[in-house]
Structure 1
């Protein structure tokens, strides 16, 4: 006897439930007996905490207090300590048991300068070690808000695919020595913020535009960091917002990829969460000149959030000027004009007065206009078509003919259906 669809589904559900319970039981078994599979003899190298480093002056050096602890139960034969700094920092001197390499910026990763030190010696479990001479880190002239990352392991770390060829240091080699217990040691990597005493001057540049009504012109606005420091923000935080307000009488024909509408302005961002000294962004925007507005002026301005590193606010805003040659409106003629192509902006202009435009032309398209007709007015021409009011009876008659023809076609089809039935 065939199984009804409902019963067939019930059997599938039962098999699924049994499989799920079996899997859950296996997970519970593994969780209940972790010691049966865990390797308690594996070494566990971790780093002591490193406090944030503040108030560094460009050109000076500091020594990060690096301590290494073996949390495992067996000694390890060698230790690798990996240092990585962002582009505002460097190294004073590099021991010969260390190798330096660089990783350029790519995707959303900042430029890094790295040093890997190998300590070819045994590290006993439970003991605290530190380099006998710390690896000195120096603040470069562009330093401001930087990051130092220190990592420890018992195997040589792999290199980034974009890394340069490692180069050995030339200073005397150093080794690890036992050290008094420091802060908590629980992680194999420690991130340390490094703040330097420095400034970075943000500034914007506007543009001077010129064109006739109806033209599309290119607006080029710029944001720049003239230094001396580079600026790095925290992950997820925007670097800055640049507000571009076009001059009155214009409209945006094509925006920039980093910009979006914000009221009457365009709010523009940056390609990365950092900006190098001497770097910045250029925003290219296409504006259409719709009409002439006396004294029209736009602006480029930085957002107003606090930037303690940038004390000069005088260059945070710049003008966008617009010189319109000719006059009128890009959508047609001005009020009272005749002979122009298209309609006026508000649709009330043309060759005739409001309420009679085109009606005295005897069916000519657009009165005295040669091509597009005048604007749409009460009792006047059809907007944006150039057709006069005299064409309305013709349109009605054509529509009636279409209806009659359609009715005849339906009647023929019905007769055919009756004969074939």
Structure 2
């Protein structure tokens, strides 16, 4: 059986078991500290390996450009450079994987909907990821705060050990919302430091007030709680993966309109997979392939959705996953609530929902690709998804009815092109 990270399997298993133990008993703060020490060592080791490879690549590149090797030797050196680049990419993938366990720490103690705001910058673009931890001047202070917080009974995570927390150096996780803190050893603040603190203050005010008059370029932003308790099919997912490990391939449909397919890559299952797709997929089926990569961000981490064994099989790419969503079923579920749906799938928006397709002024809204992706990446119930967003649209419509023409509140009209939107599955 070929592993993606063959030398790290034991370490990956240790991280998965530690994270699951913390998930089952969040009071085990001793293990919270142990897991972060472990991740810190693993990530710093990766950084040192990349540094060595890049120095070697630089020497080889210099030899190619200045050493005037013959054609055959030049080709060998260029292949070696390509091999080094591939190796660096593999190590960066491993670093991302280690940070997925850090994301799991954050998601144990905080809502995924609150954490996602720490993933973006002031313009709602994905904030640049953390730089190297190795040699970081403030690391000693950050670790000191981490250790003191945990010893005081407060769950804390180092931001650099996560993919999703990109504001602040440490993040306190014990309150209603995450509290990221920027640590500075000097009293003198650079322009960059001031900008970081301003962003943290903006985030803090947004959390405290459940919204803001202006937030990241958007006016009158309001946080809304879920109307009903979220329904997920994690047990069904893990059961499907367990069966695939035994049989080579497995499928399960936890409800009408959504289906999971798990495939063991080292087994000859192509014929069976094609049979599954012929049987269960149609022209209105949206097939989503899941992989342990950055497309998972900023959604609920797979390191918590899957059992320790399955998360390692998934990371090592021994088992692959596919989610089938029947958009015709999704549309019928919305229609039961009096809501019409157009499937856009344009890369930014996935769905346009409205009360009356002939008159969008009665209420229309577009659901982003990220929101829709939660069905697959968080294994959400299709019916719950339709009910939740139908009720959100209907409740928003009632709020707008309370606004009189003379009111000072802002009423947004839909862009004209929304009225000409077409369904990608129908066209």
Instruction: Give TM class, smaller chain.
Output: under 0.3
Structure number having the greater strand percentage: 1
Greater RCO, 1 or 2 (C-alpha within 8 Å, sep 6+): 2
> Structure 2-normalised TM-score?
0.20
Greater helix share, structure number: 2
TM-score by length of 1: 0.20
